[in-house]
Amino acid sequence: MSPRLINPAKDCEESLESLVVKDLTQIDPVALRTLATAVRVGTFEAAARELHVTPSAVSQRIKALETRVGRVLVHRTKPLEATDAGHVLVRLAAQTEMLEREAYAELVDDPDDETEAGAPWTSVPLAVNSDAMFDWFVEALVSVRERHRVTFDILREDQSRTTERLRRGEVMAAITSDPRPVPGCKVERLGVMRYLAVGNPAYVAEHLPEGPTTAALGRAPMVAFDRDDTLQHDFLRKVTRRHLAPPTTLIPSVHQFDHAVHRGLGWGMLMDSEVRDHLDSGRLVEIVPGRHVDVPLYWQRWRLESPVMVDLTAAVTEQARAWLGR
């Protein structure tokens, strides 16, 4: 499959409609890449070092690009921060670079020449939640890597926050709990991750001797992944209809989080598929039997029909549906 030429007016229709440009196809690709580099590294000086030019040249290129589109593209702070219009062009720069690399790879006549001196590697930044990475997402990456000269830059983020990465042009695709498409993106439903609130029997006997009363749940130690992990608090609001604030230990590791719950450091939300055998054997118990939290997951990606993105989407949806099943 040959990479199609990027059509900014189509691919970024919702975002680019606000830019006042005489002819978007005449944007200087060097200036576009300079903008993306400056936003990524945070300063004109760092961008200049990476691009092997002077900081003044970086500033002039970005200023010329701003004049061209008629919008301010970066806030001159430290670190540099892209404006809404700037994020649109940062995304365009990444899309253009990806298509260029894929086109070059297809132009390599000798398959044996695909070495470091041959076709370049395509890097695909992605935002993925930790549980997906731990369970099934890597299998999708492996299947794509077998067919393409590609690497992946994985940004670990809670599924409720990954769309912001897409909106800012920091990633090309993301697993998210938000079904609303980011401008310029497509959305596909993956399935549902079901979580159960569990603890070990000794913990439950000590902290919830009278059962999961509101007062007891407000005092019982809890484990959360990090400060962005609201799953445990969502469960408490669901079962008590109260905003409780129990003592909480943060453990930002899927494996160690699971271990902490098993060892009785606190109760936590674990995936149904991961704890079913432990519940059946009695090593874990539900703190509120019969109650759960379902988290729907979606795959959002740039509307870019490149071979890598098409195959990655197919692999992700196949793996997700095989693992999630709902």
pLDDT in tens, 61-102: 999 999 988 899 999 998 999 998 898 898 888 888 888 877
CATH number at residue 74: 1.10.10.10
Q: Specify whether 197 is located in the same domain as 291.
A: yes
Question: Coil, strand or helix: which one is 97?
Answer: helix
Least-confidence region, from 12-21, 147-156, 208-217, 255-264 = 12-21
- Percentage of the chain modeled with pLDDT above 70: 88
Identify the CA nearest to 259 among candidates 233, 287, 229, 223: 223
- Mean pLDDT to the nearest integer, 114-119: 54
Q: Of 115, 148, 178, which one is at a domain's C-terminal end?
A: 115
Residue at 237 is within a domain: yes
User: Dihedral sign, CA of 114, 115, 119, 124?
Assistant: positive
CA distances from 3 to 143, 149, 184 (A): 20, 15, 18
CATH number at residue 246: 3.40.190.10
Residue at 319 is within a domain: no
* pLDDT for the residue numbered 14: 43
Residue at 182 is within a domain: no
Q: Specify whether 12 is located in the same domain as 103.
A: yes
Task: Decide: 320 and 191 in contact? Cβ < 8 Å.
Answer: yes
Task: Decide: 261 and 198 in contact? Cβ < 8 Å.
Answer: yes
Q: Specify whether 110 is located in the same domain as 202.
A: no
Q: Specify whether 205 is located in the same domain as 99.
A: no
- Does residue 321 surpass a pLDDT of 50? yes
Task: Count the domains in the chain.
Answer: 2
Strands (E), the chain: 74-75, 81-82, 122-128, 150-156, 173-176, 185-199, 222-224, 248-250, 268-271, 285-286, 292-302
Task: Decide: 251 and 225 in contact? Cβ < 8 Å.
Answer: yes
Q: Specify whether 1 is located in the same domain as 94.
A: yes
Residue at 245 is within a domain: yes
List phi, psi (to 5°) of 179.
Answer: -80, -10
Residue at 310 is within a domain: no
Predicted TM-score (pTM) of this structure: 0.77
Residue at 279 is within a domain: yes
Residue at 305 is within a domain: no
Q: Which tokens belong to 118?
A: 């041959």
Residue at 224 is within a domain: yes
Q: What is the pLDDT of residues 180-231, one digit of tens each?
A: 999 889 999 999 999 999 999 999 999 999 999 999 999 999 999 999 999 9
Host domain of residue 277:
193-295
Strands (E), 118-236: 122-128, 150-156, 173-176, 185-199, 222-224
Question: Coil, strand or helix: which one is 127?
Answer: strand
pLDDT band with cut points at 50, 70 and 90 for residue 117: low
Q: Specify whether 10 is located in the same domain as 111.
A: yes
Alpha-carbon span 202 to 206, nearest angstrom: 6
